[in-house]
Structure 1
Amino acid sequence: MSGAPAGDHAWIARFLEAQAAELGAATNTLLAYGRDLKDFSAWLSPGAGGFAGVTQERIESYLLHCDAQGLATSTRARRLSAIRQLYRFAFDEGWRSDNPAIRISGPGRSRQLPGTLDMDEVDRLLAAARASGRDDMARVRNTCLLELLYATGMRVSELVALPVSAARGDPRLLLVRGKGGKERMVPLSPPAREALATWLRLRDTAASGRRAEAGADGSPFLFPSRGKSGHLTRNRFYLLIKELAVAAGVAPSRVTPHRLRHAFATHLLENGADLRSIQMLLGHADLATTEIYTHVLEARLRDLVLTHHPLARDAQ
């Protein structure tokens, strides 16, 4: 081994530094890698040489241990992925002359279809946003949030952290910074553009008043907040969308920010959009991730036939 760090924690630190610097890995991804690798390190027997002395059999035994703990398939697959990434990096860096994880097959994730909302439910949520809020400014902000989310399919983390500069000048397209700092352009529908323009007018008026009182610069975010992040948080938006679901008469358990993202993709596919375009709009790195929406559409069409076809009804 050449220049291998001393101790598992040093391995993890160097690996995470490289992931952040070379690949631009997102903070949440780095945190997940760190947690999974620390768990693996804690499981290894003291005195066994740590990461540097691990064999394929030891990794397989660890995965059996995770299974015996009752961990979900997705969790076990994620932990194996972290271990694979670590040893690929260690091999490339010359810390090990082999990669003990390269031949280990994963537990195989179950491919669950994403939940979605139909057009009527989305319309009711948008109507609730226009009518819900403690004052006119809150109602306009809520409307803008929902219109942008459904019109673009953004992740909620992308939505709440949008810079106000991206929304200036009545844009037809928004520049969105996604996972790993990757940027993409998403088009805005006419209702979304109208909601955005209305919110900007109210936001700027309120910001001008605050600056006049405090002599402070305005927030760089489209949806500012007084909290530590400076913008509306994911948790607050999650609670907001649940409140809107109640007001809309839609079961709150069916409504999440991510489900609106699924609705965006599913409704595009239903209306003839191609998978490659949907992949670009959603910011998926792999087309296989986007292909799951074809299964959603197939399931809905199958249910439609079973519910409405006369021969299907006769057989029931």
Structure 2
Amino acid sequence: MARLKLDFVQVIRSKRKTYYYFRREGYPRKELPGRLGSDEFMRAYAEALREEREEVGASGTLPGSMKALAVAWRKSNQFKELKAPSQKSYTRLIDSFVEIHGNKMVKTAEPRHIRAILESMSRTPAQANALRNVLRQMFQFAFDHGWRTDNPVRDIKKLKYKKKPFPTWSEADIEAFEARWPLGTRARLALALLLYTGQRRSDVICMGPKNIHNGSIEVVQEKTEAHLFIPMHPQLLAAIEAGPCGEQAFLVTQTGKPFASGNAFYNWFKECAIKAGVQAKLGPHGLRKAAARRMAEAGCTPHQIASITGHQSLAEVERYTKGVRQRVVAEEAMQRLVGPEKIAIKNP
């Protein structure tokens, strides 16, 4: 079994006991209870990640520096109004940036400096573009509050690269998983919730008996805040009835408690998929795409698919289902060309 690796965890071993501490620059040191990876441990770890920075870290900051701007922005309502996942990812990007450039002055930053920093990250273009987004917001805050007379990031364009989409589960992958994990297992229940609701893992782990209303599952998406009512598919209903389900959340850990985070669920579900012989590159998000694919194959319109998945952009839905649409339209076109004779197209 792979050894669990977590950021900011310090391990101290004595003759009788192993102690774990959360240690991160600018944050209070905190002892983490329980065994490494246990539910008790992961809850405390998640709580430590959410805690605010100690003000003593900001007191020694050079006035007018990038670090000072980062501290001020993180205290602002603009930052606090961001959704929790955005705050977490932005904080990670800010910390990495400040570690290198924290003592540089905000007022002397020029577009060429920002471009050079982003271009130095060309091997990880997605991360570079994410940092660009954060810096643009930080410098806009600096402009709005008189730190600068302009925003040097405003006209800087994203790095261009070919984005690799999340791979979609095929029917063969789904069948292999179901063969390994029959009804009545936690893994099968997880598959059903992902596949028959089309939701993200962060929303699936929060679904529970409280979300069922008149034959539908009510979902308020964490990422978009979209409010959805998703009719229960018979296969999902069968999986829920077979269980095992928790009282608060359908999906629970081996100890019967809800998953502490989407990442904890992801790691567990990936192990289940690998044990089923499913490709290692496939994960929970691929089942969200498989749900959209199935709906497209059934003839659903992009609007109908979005009503289930909660996508706010029809272009994103069409990207998910592009391959299906092409095959269906091509088959219809060829059918018209040859007349009533049946055209058989096998799935690749």
Which amino acid in structure 2 is aligned with residue 157 of structure 1? S
Residues 259-270 of structure 1: matches in 2 within 5 Å?
259-270=286-297
Structure 2 equivalent of residue 155 of structure 1: 200
User: 5+ unaligned residues in a row in structure 1: which ranges?
Assistant: 132-138, 205-218, 305-316
How far, CA to CA, are the matches of 1:280 and 1:143 in structure 2?
A: 25
Q: Comparing both structures, which one devotes a greater share of its residues to strand?
A: 2
Q: Aligned pair in 2 of structure 1 residues 252, 303: CA closer, same or farther (>3 Å)?
A: farther
Q: Is 1:59 matched with 2:114?
A: yes
Per-residue deviation, residues 99-147 of structure 1 (Å, max 9, x unmatched): 111111111241334311223432342343216xxxxxxx343332211
The number of residues matched between the two structures is: 268
Which amino acid in structure 1 is aligned with residue 248 of structure 2? P
Would you say the 8 A contact 2:143–2:150 is kept in 1? yes
Structure 1 equivalent of residue 83 of structure 2: 25
Q: Comparing both structures, which one devotes a greater share of its residues to helix?
A: 1
Q: Aligned pair in 2 of structure 1 residues 226, 147: CA closer, same or farther (>3 Å)?
A: closer
Q: Is 1:118 matched with 2:170?
A: yes
**How high is the sequence identity, in percent, across the aligned residues?**
21
Which amino acid in structure 2 is aligned with residue 102 of structure 1? R
Would you say the 8 A contact 2:139–2:153 is kept in 1? yes
Would you say the 8 A contact 2:200–2:285 is kept in 1? yes
Per-residue deviation, residues 229-272 of structure 1 (Å, max 9, x unmatched): 8436543554345435544xx43325321111111112212222
Structure 2 equivalent of residue 222 of structure 1: 250
Would you say the 8 A contact 1:114–1:259 is kept in 2? yes
Q: Is 1:190 matched with 2:234?
A: yes
Per-residue deviation, residues 127-169 of structure 1 (Å, max 9, x unmatched): 43216xxxxxxx34333221111001111121122244113x6
Structure 2 equivalent of residue 310 of structure 1: none
How far, CA to CA, are the matches of 2:127 and 2:329 in structure 1?
A: 31
How far, CA to CA, are the matches of 1:252 and 1:6 in structure 2?
A: 50
Structure 1 equivalent of residue 309 of structure 2: 282
How far, CA to CA, are the matches of 1:144 and 1:297 in structure 2?
A: 27
User: 5+ unaligned residues in a row in structure 2: which ranges?
Assistant: 1-62, 332-348
Q: Is 1:101 matched with 2:145?
A: no
How far, CA to CA, are the matches of 1:228 and 1:130 in structure 2?
A: 19
How far, CA to CA, are the matches of 2:149 and 2:109 in structure 1?
A: 12
Would you say the 8 A contact 1:279–1:290 is kept in 2? yes
Structure 1 equivalent of residue 191 of structure 2: 146
Structure 2 equivalent of residue 308 of structure 1: none
Q: Aligned pair in 2 of structure 1 residues 25, 96: CA closer, same or farther (>3 Å)?
A: farther
How far, CA to CA, are the matches of 1:163 and 1:266 in structure 2?
A: 25
Q: Secondary structure at the match of 2:157?
A: coil
Would you say the 8 A contact 1:43–1:62 is kept in 2? no
How far, CA to CA, are the matches of 2:225 and 2:205 in structure 1?
A: 15
Q: Secondary structure at the match of 1:66?
A: coil
Would you say the 8 A contact 1:77–1:107 is kept in 2? yes
Q: Which has the higher contact order (CA 8 A, sep 6+)?
A: 1
Q: Secondary structure at the match of 2:160?
A: coil
How far, CA to CA, are the matches of 1:178 and 1:165 in structure 2?
A: 17
How far, CA to CA, are the matches of 1:129 and 1:228 in structure 2?
A: 18
Structure 2 equivalent of residue 135 of structure 1: none
Residues 238-257 of structure 1: matches in 2 within 5 Å?
238-244=267-273, 246-247=275-276, 250-257=277-284
Could you say what the CA RMSD is over the residues aligned between the two structures, in angstroms?
3.5
Which amino acid in structure 1 is aligned with residue 272 of structure 2? E
Structure 2 equivalent of residue 35 of structure 1: 92
